[in-house]
């Protein structure tokens, strides 16, 4: 392992910028900048929201993953583990099922945000006032399993086959066909969540030496847990609300970047936000290139990339543990 590399942040920022520009320039309608009014419309109504959402969603997933891995001190943690994305998905599915999603434009994301808030409240309540990370994982796993079961129940109860297909499609995650309204809806909670999480670096660093030493170094463990969960709920809840469930980003990105920032949790937070944005932009770009018709979904692609990585993670952990 090397100490932190000074070029990591500038390099990630440059990568994200390049991918964002590429994302703005890619689409079925070939167009040149400085073109017609129609080209401007395509740019501002279709591509700009897609790119902005890619950045916001990726940053939310990446930084939440880094914060949760730091808090739980487990490189396998990701935002899904504390039940927030499950809650958001359940809220969205209920919005589709009840017709709320069809009745007005942002009905679905609002349902998802409500679901994320509900999941957050239940997880915090279940985790209790004293317990440490373990009770949070247990509470999160309970909520995640419950939401999965309830989503399956809503699917089987769905009498309208179109609604069922819509639910399944939505669950796979996508950034396509989003408008600036989605951006305006998701940006405030995501940005607020990112601000909350980015300020936890000091406490996450202290937690490297365990809960007692962190407490001795002035960290309030209860406050830290509250902020980790709230920040994740704001960021990932809003991200899921506008993009569906996109897996593995919150798991892989912090894992790849950790050695590059000297394993320091506080440095990993901003790096993972940029890395997450870059990965989601890249996956969404790849999607538009390999499957312009939209048959492939973003969440499916990240899982397809993520699973081999996960296997590699298991193999390398096994190698490390071998005598």
Partner 1 sequence: MTVVLRDVRLALGDRVVLDAINLATPPGRITAVVGPNGAGKSTLLRACAGLIPLERGTIAVAGRPLGALARAELARAIAYLPQERAVHWPLAARAVVALGRLPHDDMKPEAIDRALAAMDIVSLADRPVSELSGGERARVLVARALAQEAPLLIADEPTAGLDPAHALALFSCFQQLATEGRTVIVALHDLSLAARFAHHVILLANGRVSASGPPRDVLTPRNLEPAFGVTMLCTIVDGLPIVAPVATLP
Positions that interact with partner 1 (CB under 8 A): 1, 3, 73, 202, 205-210, 212-213, 215-218, 220, 258, 262-265
Q: Is residue 219 within 8 Å of 266, Cβ to Cβ?
A: no
CB of 3 to partner 1, least distance (A): 6
Q: Where are the alpha helices (DSSP H) in the chain?
A: 8-25, 37-42, 48-72, 84-98, 100-103, 107-127, 133-157, 161-171, 180-198, 201-206, 211-216, 221-243, 249-257, 265-290, 298-321
CA distance 316 to 84: 29
Q: Which is nearer to partner 1, 26 or 205 (CB)?
A: 205
CB of 134 to partner 1, least distance (A): 14
Q: Which is nearer to partner 1, 135 or 208 (CB)?
A: 208
Q: Which is nearer to partner 1, 76 or 213 (CB)?
A: 213
CB of 268 to partner 1, least distance (A): 9
CB of 203 to partner 1, least distance (A): 9
Q: Which is nearer to partner 1, 50 or 225 (CB)?
A: 225
CA distance 59 to 63: 6
CA distance 230 to 100: 26
Query: If you write DSSP's letter for every residue of 173-219 in order, what string do you get?
Result: ---TT--HHHHHHHHHHHHHHHHHHHTTHHHHHHGGG-HHHHHHTT-
CB of 296 to partner 1, least distance (A): 36
CA neighbours within 13 Å on the CB side: how many for 188? 4
CA distance 41 to 92: 29
Q: Which is nearer to partner 1, 181 or 263 (CB)?
A: 263
CB of 215 to partner 1, least distance (A): 6
CB of 210 to partner 1, least distance (A): 5
Q: Which is nearer to partner 1, 215 or 303 (CB)?
A: 215
Name residues whose C-beta falls within 8 Å of residue 141's C-beta, 6 or more positions apart in sequence: 81, 83
Q: Which is nearer to partner 1, 2 or 104 (CB)?
A: 2
């Amino acid at each position: 392992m090397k100490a932190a590399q000074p070029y990591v942040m500038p390099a990630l920022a440059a990568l994200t910028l390049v991918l964002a520009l590429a994302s703005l320039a890619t689409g079925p309608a070939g167009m040149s900048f400085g073109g017609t009014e129609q080209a401007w419309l395509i740019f501002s109504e279709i591509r700009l929201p897609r790119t902005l959402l890619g950045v916001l969603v990726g940053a939310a997933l990446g930084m939440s993953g880094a914060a949760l891995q730091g808090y739980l001190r487990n490189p396998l943690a990701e935002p899904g583990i504390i039940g927030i994305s499950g809650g958001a998905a359940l809220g969205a599915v209920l919005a589709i099922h009840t017709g709320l999603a069809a009745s007005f434009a942002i009905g679905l994301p609002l349902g998802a945000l409500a679901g994320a808030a509900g999941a957050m409240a239940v997880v915090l309540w279940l985790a209790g006032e004293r317990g440490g990370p373990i009770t949070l994982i247990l509470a999160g796993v309970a909520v995640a399993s419950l939401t999965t079961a309830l989503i399956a129940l809503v699917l089987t109860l769905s009498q309208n086959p179109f609604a069922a297909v819509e639910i399944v499609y939505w669950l796979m995650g996508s950034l396509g066909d989003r408008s600036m309204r989605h951006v305006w809806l998701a940006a405030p909670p995501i940005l607020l969540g990112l601000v909350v999480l980015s300020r936890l670096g000091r406490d996450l660093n202290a937690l490297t030496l365990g809960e007692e030493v962190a407490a001795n170094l002035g960290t309030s463990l209860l406050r830290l847990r509250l902020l980790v969960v709230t920040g994740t709920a704001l960021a990932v809840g809003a991200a899921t609300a506008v993009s569906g469930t996109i897996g593995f980003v919150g798991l892989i990105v912090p894992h790849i970047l950790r050695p590059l920032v000297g394993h320091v949790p506080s440095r990993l937070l901003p790096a993972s936000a940029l890395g997450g944005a870059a990965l989601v932009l890249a996956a969404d770009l790849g999607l538009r290139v390999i499957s312009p018709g939209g048959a492939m979904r973003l969440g499916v692609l990240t899982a397809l990339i993520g699973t081999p990585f996960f296997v590699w993670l298991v193999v390398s952990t096994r190698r490390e543990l071998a005598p």
